[in-house]
């Protein structure tokens, strides 16, 4: 006996079939997505936390072991069962109730202090470090000091004392050390666009004070010798009283330039190739000079370049706070930090640089 379907029965069947096809399409896409992820990951493990494992286990239980094996998921049924066993074992572990066995670990505060003292004092041996720690209230043995240094890859004193770090060298010669380097600026002249070379000298690494030693489109040997004579002038030379000058291997630092320095007992420290970090103070100033001044202006003639550099150096010394100096000014006047007086703004180069201060009453 045939059964006649009502129109609404046909509508329900059509909607159900469409929804089923859509679900099949979604499932097919998710399976393909899982296959792509597995191909991408290869043999790499996917690290999950306990909450993520729990959520996957709950969903996997609804599907069952057989269906999970057919779907082709990222995690097999055996993996989910192993997670379950680990969670059960962790629940009944009670490791947090166990008493610690053996010698207690050295406090992290002591470890950090041992490492600091060893790095700052490369000539100190284990016993010397132990005594310094005892002065600070930490009683540990020399063997403990040795184990801490060994665990962190720090060599014994006989080996450490031979390797003086560049940072330690710089700090040991703050007052007698200067650094220099060149930068280039494109300037419009009557003859077109001309490249000018600017020689910058940091005459005090400790305070970051800088000077513009010279500006020229032709930094030849004669010009470099003249610059060296000006720098080493006994009366007002920027390098007067200095002992070392750091510079790179630029050929502009020629023999005539170095001979003048040697005649004034200034030793040239020529840096290895491709090592800008060893001249980091000059490199950092060059970056500030370019970003804050040179790249924001167009220069017409040498005089405009000289004026801009003069104004920037004045701003750099007296009006610009430096993070390397605890956010202070290099040359602070008496009004800095005052809370009395009218707030006034000083502008340089048409407002390119601004400095806010209090006018003295």
Residue 170 and residue 278: Cα distance in Å, rounded? Answer: 10
Residue 135 and residue 117: Cα distance in Å, rounded? Answer: 13
Question: In the block, which residue shows the tokens 């009004």?
Answer: 335
Residues in Cβ contact with 210 at an 8 Å cutoff, skipping those fewer than 6 apart: 200, 201, 202, 203, 285, 313, 316, 317
Pairing of β 177-189 and β 244-247: parallel
Looking at residue 242, its pLDDT comes to: 83
Taking every pair of Cα atoms in the chain, the longest distance, rounded to a whole number of angstroms, is 124
Ranges of each domain in the chain:
11-88, 108-163, 172-325
Give start and end residues of each alpha helix (H) in the chain: 7-41, 50-63, 65-71, 77-91, 108-120, 126-135, 142-151, 157-160, 166-172, 221-231, 255-263, 280-292, 302-318
Give the number of other CB atoms < 10 A from CB of residue 38: 13
End-to-end C-alpha distance for the chain, whole angstroms:
112
The token duo for 255 is: 């023999």
Beta carbons of 197 and 216 less than 8 angstroms apart: yes
Residue 138 and residue 51: Cα distance in Å, rounded? Answer: 42
Question: In the block, which residue shows the tokens 């014994």?
Answer: 156
Give the distance, in angstroms, between the CA of residue 285 and the centroid of all CA atoms in the same chain.
Answer: 16
Helices 126-135 and 142-151 cross at an angle (nearest 10°) of 110
Give the distance, in angstroms, between the CA of residue 192 and the centroid of all CA atoms in the same chain.
Answer: 40
Task: Name the DSSP class of 188.
Answer: E
Residues in Cβ contact with 52 at an 8 Å cutoff, skipping those fewer than 6 apart: none
The token duo for 202 is: 């940091």
Whats the size of the chain, residue-wise?
361
Looking at residue 204, its pLDDT comes to: 75
If we measure between CA atoms, which residue out of 185, 168, 186 comes closest to residue 177?
Answer: 168
Pairing of β 267-270 and β 299-300: unpaired
Q: Which listed CATH number (3.30.559.10, 3.30.420.10, 3.40.630.40, 3.30.110.40) goes with 172-325?
A: 3.30.420.10
Residue ranges of E strands in 149-220: 177-189, 192-204, 209-216
Looking at residue 3, its pLDDT comes to: 47
Q: What is the pLDDT along the chain (361 residues), one digit of tens a residue?
A: 444 545 655 566 665 665 566 666 666 666 777 777 777 777 777 777 777 777 777 677 666 667 666 665 666 777 777 777 777 777 677 666 666 666 778 888 889 988 888 877 877 888 888 888 888 888 888 888 888 888 877 777 665 555 556 566 666 666 678 888 999 999 999 989 999 999 998 777 777 889 999 999 999 999 999 999 998 887 778 888 888 888 999 999 999 999 999 998 988 889 888 777 778 888 889 999 999 999 999 999 999 999 999 999 999 998 889 887 888 888 888 778 777 888 888 899 988 999 888 887 6
Give the number of other CB atoms < 10 A from CB of residue 74: 13
If we measure between CA atoms, which residue out of 240, 243, 241 comes closest to residue 169?
Answer: 243
Beta carbons of 32 and 58 less than 8 angstroms apart: no
Residues in Cβ contact with 142 at an 8 Å cutoff, skipping those fewer than 6 apart: 126, 127, 129, 130
Give the distance, in angstroms, between the CA of residue 160 and the centroid of all CA atoms in the same chain.
Answer: 26
């Amino acid at each position: 006996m045939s059964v006649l379907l009502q129109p609404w029965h046909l509508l329900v069947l059509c909607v159900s079939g469409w929804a089923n096809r859509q679900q099949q399409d979604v499932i097919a896409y998710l399976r393909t997505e899982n296959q792509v992820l597995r191909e991408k990951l290869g043999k790499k493990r996917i690290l999950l936390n306990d909450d993520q494992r729990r959520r996957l286990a709950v969903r996997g239980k609804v599907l069952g072991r057989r269906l999970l094996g057919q779907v082709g998921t990222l995690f097999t049924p055996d993996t989910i069962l192993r997670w379950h066993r680990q969670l059960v074992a962790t629940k009944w572990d009670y490791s947090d109730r166990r008493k610690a066995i053996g010698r207690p670990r050295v406090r992290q505060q002591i470890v950090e202090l041992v490492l600091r003292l060893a790095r700052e004092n490369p000539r100190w041996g284990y016993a010397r470090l132990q005594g310094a720690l005892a002065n600070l209230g930490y009683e540990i043995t020399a063997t403990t000091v040795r184990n801490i240094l060994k665990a962190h890859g720090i060599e014994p004193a006989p080996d450490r004392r031979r390797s003086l770090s560049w940072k330690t060298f710089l700090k040991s010669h703050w007052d007698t050390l200067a650094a220099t380097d060149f930068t280039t600026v494109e300037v419009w002249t009557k003859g077109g666009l001309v490249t000018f070379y600017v020689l910058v000298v940091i005459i005090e690494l400790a305070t970051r004070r800088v000077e513009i030693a010279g500006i020229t489109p032709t930094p030849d040997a004669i010009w470099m010798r003249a610059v060296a004579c000006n720098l080493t002038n006994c009366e007002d030379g920027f390098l007067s009283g200095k002992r070392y000058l750091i510079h790179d291997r630029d050929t502009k630092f020629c023999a005539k330039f170095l001979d003048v320095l040697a005649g004034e007992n200034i030793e040239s420290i020529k840096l290895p190739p491709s090592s800008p970090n060893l001249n980091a103070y000059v490199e950092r100033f060059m970056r500030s000079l370019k970003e804050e001044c040179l790249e924001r202006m167009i220069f017409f003639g040498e005089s405009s370049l000289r004026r801009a550099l003069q104004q920037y150096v004045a701003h750099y010394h007296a009006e610009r706070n430096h993070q390397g100096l605890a956010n202070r000014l290099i040359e602070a006047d008496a009004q800095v930090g005052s809370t009395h007086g009218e707030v006034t703004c000083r502008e340089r180069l048409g407002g390119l640089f601004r400095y806010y201060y209090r006018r003295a009453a």
